[in-house]
Amino acid sequence: MNPTRRRALRAFGAAVAGTALAGCLSDDEPTNEDGNGGDSGVSVEEVTATPAVVTLNSPDSYGTYGDRNEQLIIADISVESPGSHPVSSFSVEAGGKQYEATTDIYGGFELETFDEPYEPNSGSSPTASASASEDDEARPSSGWIAAYVPKPLDADSATLTWDGGEHAVGDAVLERLNRPPAAFDVTFEAPDTATVGETVTATVTVENTADVDGTFVGAINRVGPRIAYAPEAEVRLDVPAGETADWEFTHSLDSSELAEMENPASMELHLVWRGGSPVRTVDIESG
């Protein structure tokens, strides 16, 4: 999928969700100081905790990644000399253990909430000249890196480290990292039928049955009408312990787009999350 379409999809998902960053608690005080107060050439713009992420698992569909007993620390970084700071030089230290950073979450597709990954050599190619490759390695680069850590983290501190520097994770983010996993009862509802010209509204209802606050992460894929498969939106809800939250997805059945539709026609809406993948079918009438 080309970047323009990816940006359009991301904007659409954010508009539907209302709060694109719900469920992502961040430490947003930038720093580029190393542990001794010097300048390492690495600026940490933001550090985020999230139980799961949404990314493409094919050119035409979303998946969610993050198991119940794990979570992700995601850092937005800017690097002056990326040739000196490969992804492998970053890690998270917490509870006496080290967790390697990665940008390879299902093949390195962009993450819906976090945009593009950090790519130190994004402009180089096997056929590029040595001088061009050196220039590319010297060009500043920015993007996200991620580390999978246990959930709960059960640590007094967490630090993003790299060759020449470090960045301590803030207390609010650390508190979320130390939170045990929640448990969700999820229902997915959509009308059985709709008429061309109407707007179909599907509702995701999430009940947190645990005694801790939690974040639900899911995604919507669509099949039909007149389309084989399409990624539509990220679903992200903060749900306090014992409470319920709703999220709505809407799709307009445009009359011009469906003018040549053959009856019977239908649209499938797929909700994808780590606990299941329910499908709702809407039969479409020409009106």
What confidence tens digit (pLDDT) does each residue in 120-136 have? 975 443 444 444 445 55
pLDDT digits (tens, 9 = 90+) for 140-163: 799 999 999 999 999 999 999 999
Q: Are residues 136 and 272 in the same domain?
A: no
pLDDT digits (tens, 9 = 90+) for 43-64: 999 999 999 999 999 989 999 9
Judged by DSSP in three states, 171 sits in helix
Would you place residue 254 in the very low, low, confident or very high pLDDT band (cuts 50, 70, 90)? confident
Q: Are residues 165 and 205 in the same domain?
A: no
Q: Are residues 146 and 207 in the same domain?
A: no
What tokens does 25 get?
């608690």
pLDDT of residue 31: 52
Q: Which of 149, 177, 205 is the last residue of a domain?
A: 177
pLDDT of residue 265: 87
CATH value at residue 32:
2.60.40
The residue range of the domain holding 239 is 184-285
Angle at 138 between CA 136 and CA 144, to 5 degrees: 85
Q: Which of 150, 177, 204 is the last residue of a domain?
A: 177
| Distance separating alpha carbons of residues 102 and 204, to the nearest angstrom | 31
Q: Are residues 162 and 207 in the same domain?
A: no
Q: Are residues 60 and 157 in the same domain?
A: yes
Mean pLDDT of the residues in the chain? 83
Question: Total structural domains in the chain?
Answer: 2
Would you place residue 91 in the very low, low, confident or very high pLDDT band (cuts 50, 70, 90)? very high
Q: Are residues 222 and 252 in the same domain?
A: yes
